[in-house]
Structure 1
Amino acid sequence: MFGSTWKKTIGALAVATGMAAAGQAAAEDTKVGFVYVGPISDHGWSYMHNVGREAIEKELGLTTTYVESVNEGPDAERVITKLAKDGHNLIFTTSFGFMNQTLKVAKRFPNVKFEHATGFRRSDNVSTYSARFYEGRYVVGHIVGKMTKTNTIGYIASFPIPEVIRGINATILGARKVNPDVQIKVVWVNTWVDPGKEGDAAKALIDQGADVIMQHTDSPSPLQVAQNRGVWAVGQASDMKTFAPKSQLTAIIDNWAPYYVARAKAAMDGSWKSEDTWGGFKSGMVQLADYNEAIPADVVKLAEEVRVGITDGSIHPFAGPIKNQAGEVIVPEGEVADDKTLLGMNFYVEGVQGELPQ
């Protein structure tokens, strides 16, 4: 009896030791690389991707590497190639403009796994992932539609790609649900992060009557300008309250860490496969920062009802009827825009001022 129990115990210990050794080997064999379009000090997009990278190190004990402020184009291909050559077998490329370069390098390194953020092209060793940021912007639209006194929202936009256009449209759709007179004015800065350009754009929009500043760029400069000029603002990608505690109404937070940890685990245990992920409130990939205490209680209640509705599926930000600037019905009443329409969005809806750059 004792001998049998002892053998079982020894066997269990051997299995546990073997599993631990295998796990250690998997950790040693998995090297993760990240490519950022901006600096990790931007306190926005790249900053939050780097928070996710740090979560991989903390939770899984893996070795990670990052390269920041990489230009979209030949520089990106060079950086991605070097990471692959240096033994990184899981590489995250975190900007839309890295898509073609990621696919090109992936073709040359079929044994390396690649993850491309916000893109739409995949291959056997390239996955894509993004967040439904527009869900957060739709909720914020309800807030800013209530908070504006001038009925003018200023929006600092980076590049005219579907992801950015969706955010602008979602904002005005939400705002006009509570305030049919509101409009959005857009300034395109053609950069993801440039504090000087972003700040100048915020000043120009305020000079044009905007009393709320939103952005799809990555530095806190617009919020700082907003606070200096005494208008409201919304943080981008992370909670930027420390930069504008009086002006920030809330912030749309990109929560990448759980996804990064899960995908790194999959690479370690062999379950990784090419797939597309597009998460929102329900998955926790999109979150909202605490609401400014200056927001009236009834507006907070409304915002939370919309957030909960999006999460449980009872509310869709792009539910019809939706018209474009020309007054043409794009989404009929009783229907919602499907993901194909959202992913290819190349038009402004009613309420957005100016022409969409081509």
Structure 2
Amino acid sequence: MYRPFAIIIIIFLVLNTLVGCSQSNSSGQLQKVGLLVYDSINDQVWGTKGYQGMLKIQSEMDVDVFYKEGINTIEATERTVNEFVENGVNLIFGHGSEFAPIFNTIADQYPDVHFISFNGEAKKDNTTSLNFEAHAMGFFGGMVAGEMTKTNTVGVLASFEWQPEVNGFFEGALFQNEEVEVKIQFVESWDDKETALLLLDKFINDGVDVVYPAGDGYNVPVIEKLREEGLYAIGFVSDQSDLGEGTVLTSTVQHVDVLYELVAELYNDGKLESGNLSFDFKDGVISMGQYSSSVDLKFQTELEEYIKEYTESGLLPNQIQ
């Protein structure tokens, strides 16, 4: 899923992480697009998804796109935004909640630029925050964990307490299996691999046999260790079945690339709203990933029926009378 980056990155490195892909042929408001990534586009989870979104915009809309990694300070953000604007960029994605307050601060300096962040609070007319309705995806991931656990003990290894998928996973696991115990630990970072692996050791010692690693930089190492231990994982953000079909039962997938293109099209058509916008299964930007052959086909069918009902009604299985 991720291997095509190698060829493309070689081409792009000519411009030292500030990348232009094609001549802009947009017929609407969109001129060029920029992406700020807090850490790396090579994490195989969140950063990678943002980069794929840029490639989708470039491919489908035939406009120049730029990106820059390691933008993790206010000064770096301001400097890169200015570079982008000097290159004609008028739609800028800050790939994370970290960028929302900075964009609110600097937005007035660039009235002809629209700033996009994720899971934050957009307060200016030319700022928008995109929010995935992660509670539901966590719920359905939790159902899989509750179904597949052999020890009746599952765990969420989340980055932060505010993540909606944490409570969702808890509720889904209990809906599917009233006997299950759900353990929760917080890494307090998206990327701290060392802490995540220490917390995973605690899970394993406590008998947890299905783990939902809801973070970015530590997600893959956690799944790799679970594979070594013969335990199960629920993948996060990307379809992570390629990390071990027998280990990754399924994944809660956020189709960031699809959302990026949707937002770019809305902006191009003059229809992009400011403020905080939410997206869910019904918008085609969240889905379950590939199921492991370990997951019973009857249960897969039942789960997909629940997802269909939720998509149509907005009600999770535990909310239906």
Interval of TM-score (by shorter of Structure 1 and Structure 2): 0.7 to 0.9
Give 2:63's aligned amino acid. Answer: L
Give 1:274's aligned amino acid. Answer: S
- Map 1:233-312; keep pairs closer than 5 Å: 233-312=233-312
Give 1:313's aligned amino acid. Answer: S
- Aligned: 1:118 with 2:116: no
Q: Secondary structure of 2:166's partner? A: helix
1:258, CA displacement in angstroms? 2.8
1:35, CA displacement in angstroms? 1.2
* CA offsets 1:272-296 (integer angstroms, 9 cap, x no match): 4425321111111101111111112
Q: Secondary structure of 1:233's partner? A: strand
Sequence identity, in percent? 25
Counterpart residue number, 1:217: 215
* CA offsets 1:283-324 (integer angstroms, 9 cap, x no match): 11101111111112332133112211211116336739xxxx
Cα distance, 1:305–1:25 mapped onto 2, change above 3 Å? closer
Cα distance, 1:133–1:207 mapped onto 2, change above 3 Å? same
**Count of residue correspondences:** 296
Unmatched segments (≥5 aa) in structure 2: 1-23
Unmatched segments (≥5 aa) in structure 1: 1-22, 321-333, 335-358
1:64, CA displacement in angstroms? 0.7
Give 1:158's aligned amino acid. Answer: S
Q: Secondary structure of 1:144's partner? A: helix
Q: Distance in 2 between matches of 1:28 and 1:134?
A: 34
Q: Distance in 2 between matches of 1:26 and 1:194?
A: 43
Q: Distance in 2 between matches of 1:121 and 1:29?
A: 20
8 Å Cα contact 1:187-1:201 kept in structure 2: yes
- What is the TM-score with the length of structure 2 in the denominator? 0.84
Q: Distance in 2 between matches of 1:312 and 1:32?
A: 34
8 Å Cα contact 1:52-1:256 kept in structure 2: yes
- What is the TM-score with the length of structure 1 in the denominator? 0.76
Counterpart residue number, 1:207: 205
Give 1:236's aligned amino acid. Answer: F
Q: Distance in 2 between matches of 1:241 and 1:277?
A: 30
Give 1:243's aligned amino acid. Answer: L
Cα distance, 1:29–1:95 mapped onto 2, change above 3 Å? closer
- Map 1:128-167; keep pairs closer than 5 Å: 128-161=129-162, 164=163, 166-167=164-165
Give 2:126's aligned amino acid. Answer: N
1:203, CA displacement in angstroms? 2.5
Counterpart residue number, 2:25: 24
Counterpart residue number, 1:65: 66
Q: Distance in 2 between matches of 1:49 and 1:261?
A: 11
Q: Secondary structure of 2:252's partner? A: strand
Give 1:295's aligned amino acid. Answer: V
The CA RMSD measured in Å over matched residues stands at 2.3
8 Å Cα contact 2:122-2:274 kept in structure 1: no
- Aligned: 1:54 with 2:55: yes
Counterpart residue number, 1:351: none
